[in-house]
Amino acid sequence: MKHFLDIHKTGPADLRAIIDQAKATKQARLGRPKAALDDELPLKDKMVALIFEKPSTRTRVSFDVGVRQMGGQTMVLSGKDMQLGHGETIADTARVLSRYVDMIMIRTFDETVLTEMAEYSDVPVINGLTDRTHPCQIMADVLTYEEHRGPIKGKKVVWCGDGNNVCASFLHAAGQFGFDLTFAGPAQLDPEEEFVGLARKAGSKVVIERDAAKAVEGADLVVTDTWVSMHDSQSSKERRHNMLRPYQVNAELMSHAKPDALFMHCLPAHREEEATSHVMDGPNSVIFDEAENRLHAQKAIMRWCAGS
């Protein structure tokens, strides 16, 4: 059974194969209508459940379109409309869903919902974001970086802002794909030590830096994300904004990076907060390529899970 739960739980060779598959399939359908089928249909006659316990635009639409392009069918389920949100155990939900569908993608709050779903499911489970990680996003980001600049191995990635779930998956990817990561943010919002340790153990240079301009020096890629994630309480908004304001990605900050440094943001963004529109819409920004590549990366992930 091949679940896609996290980047650090998937071997480097498999991760590389997924990225290469994504590149090839994307290339093969260039110019084809969006609803046209792929040449190969690894999800033919397969049903995929897409469960959302949090809002989503990109994850929801890209998984749905991706399954259809590979010949499968989807059902999009909202957590609150399922018995899962009303007391049925995750284990029972996983066992029941396994009788109807061939694959499950879930976006949830607590990571244990994902891991328990995987433990009791007879079909592959994919992590569509938890409070702790967002691996599909970073697979799309690696694909995006490599399309624009070639291999990401050995490059310097700088994460500015909150050491959140997306930052965590970047750290996992640093270890598995062999790039270095500098975190620039306030100590209160540092990434989890466990994840920093994992990346270092895998051979990545991970630097924690409080001075944003210093952090960005020599960067090949600068990344940021919202200052208040879906799992953060709204009452923490003002405190977070005050702490994170020095880490806004703007033209001045980008001037410290390499001239050809790319800018990424997983979206949705709060323009003029974590990043200025000047940077987001500037020539080095690849934010909409990242969004598009969710589709191609996830198709390759599903194909890998399906074993075809």
Distance between CA atoms of 273 and 6, rounded to whole angstroms? Answer: 29
* Cα–Cα distance, 302 to 308 (Å, whole number): 9
For the segment 100-129, give every residue that binds ligand NVA (CB under 6 A).
Answer: 129
Alpha-carbon Rg for the chain in angstroms:
19
By the rule CB under 6 A, 266 interacts with ligand NVA: yes
The nearer residue to ligand CP, 64 or 220, going by C-beta atoms, is 64
225 binds ligand NVA (CB under 6 A): yes
Question: CB–CB of 216/254 below 8 Å?
Answer: yes
Partner whose binding site includes residue 165, from ligand CP, ligand NVA, none (CB under 5 to 8 Å by kind): ligand NVA
Q: Which residues are part of the catalytic machinery?
A: 107, 134, 137, 225, 266, 294
Dist CA 89 CA 93 (whole Å): 6
Is 226 near ligand NVA (CB under 6 A)? yes
Q: Which one, 98 or 226, has the nearer CB to ligand CP?
A: 226
For ligand NVA, the closer CB: 53 or 225: 225
Cα–Cα nearest to 266, from 62, 109, 118: 62
Give the residue numbers of the binding site for carbamoyl phosphate. 56-59, 83, 107, 134-137, 266-267, 294
Q: How far is CA 250 from CA 53, 187, 224, 272, in A?
A: 33, 21, 11, 9
Sheet with 262-265, edge to edge strand ranges:
206-209, 180-184, 156-160, 221-224, 262-265
Residue among 21, 73, 229, 284 that touches ligand NVA (CB under 6 A): 229
Contact with ligand NVA (CB under 6 A) among 15, 103, 166, 196: 166
Among 65, 189, 208, 230, binds ligand NVA (CB under 6 A): 230
Q: Give CA–CA dist 5/92, Å, rounded.
A: 19
In the list ligand NVA, ligand CP, none, the entry touching 229 (Cβ below 5 to 8 angstroms by class) is ligand NVA
- Binding interface with ligand NVA (CB under 6 A): 129, 164-166, 225-226, 229-230, 266
